Amino acid sequence: MKKLAWIAITAIMLLIISACGNADSTSGTEDPKGEAAASDQEEVSNQDAAEDEDADEETSEKSSEGEDIPKVEKDENGNYILTTVGQTIDEPDTGTIELMKIKDVNETVDISPIKVTVKDIKLFQITDVQETMIDYLSMYGLENTAPEKLNYIQIAYKSENTEDKDIDWYGIQNVVLSNGEQLDAMMNDFISDDHDMDTIYYGNVKKDGTVGLLYKGNPEEVESVKIIFGESMDAESYETLTEKQQVEYEL
């Protein structure tokens, strides 16, 4: 029974996140349907890679001022579309899920020959956490056995092998929050997707990916997010083609 419940929870999380790239302009200052811009990226090092950007606070300010929050809609496939801070959904095996922050990114990261487009970053909070959800997340770094609420970050992206040769790429390896938390995306990502099934990118293939990671702090404390992408490697020789890359976004 627990196994079936865990499958149901994973399906719920995928329903919530599957429409991440379909948010309209009311959820941010950038249009995710337009052509993606290049990210300000650099190879991973011990130096601070922070870059000042304009924070996207419009939706958060509106909801905090008591303005109407639009009803959560579903797309033609029955997927939830949470696009505005303050929107909530209730799930019997999970709890009440609320969108706390959102950043529409729509920027590309070059990990040649892998091209990654970061769609958006969302911070969620789960209250009235159900026991089934606690059991499921205990496999992904949850330490508190009876939490009143859970916070997690969700990063949606799409990736493409732009060459004919086979490439091995492990996706997002770490996420660093401005509150000082470093999250292990290799071990604690609780959302399964196409990328998790197979890290090999055969010639000219595309995949959608979503990372979901629990964190301990409050959403208000997270003002920026640094994403560490793994290196791309030749799938046959395991030669490194492009080193690890990092980008940082203000929320």
Please report which confidence band the pLDDT of residue 24 belongs to, taking 50, 70 and 90 as the band edges.
very low
The predicted model scores a pTM of 0.78
Alpha-carbon distance 144 to 120, whole Å? 28
Q: Is the pLDDT of residue 47 over 50?
A: no
User: So what's the pLDDT on residue 191?
Assistant: 93
Over residues 197-225, the pLDDT tens digits come to 789 999 999 999 999 999 999 999 999 99
Domains contained in the chain, number: 1
Phi, psi of 215 (to 5 degrees): -140, 160
Determine the structural domain holding residue 71 and report its residue range.
2-250
Alpha-carbon distance 31 to 43, whole Å? 27
Q: Two tokens at 148?
A: 């009143």
User: So what's the pLDDT on residue 52?
Assistant: 40
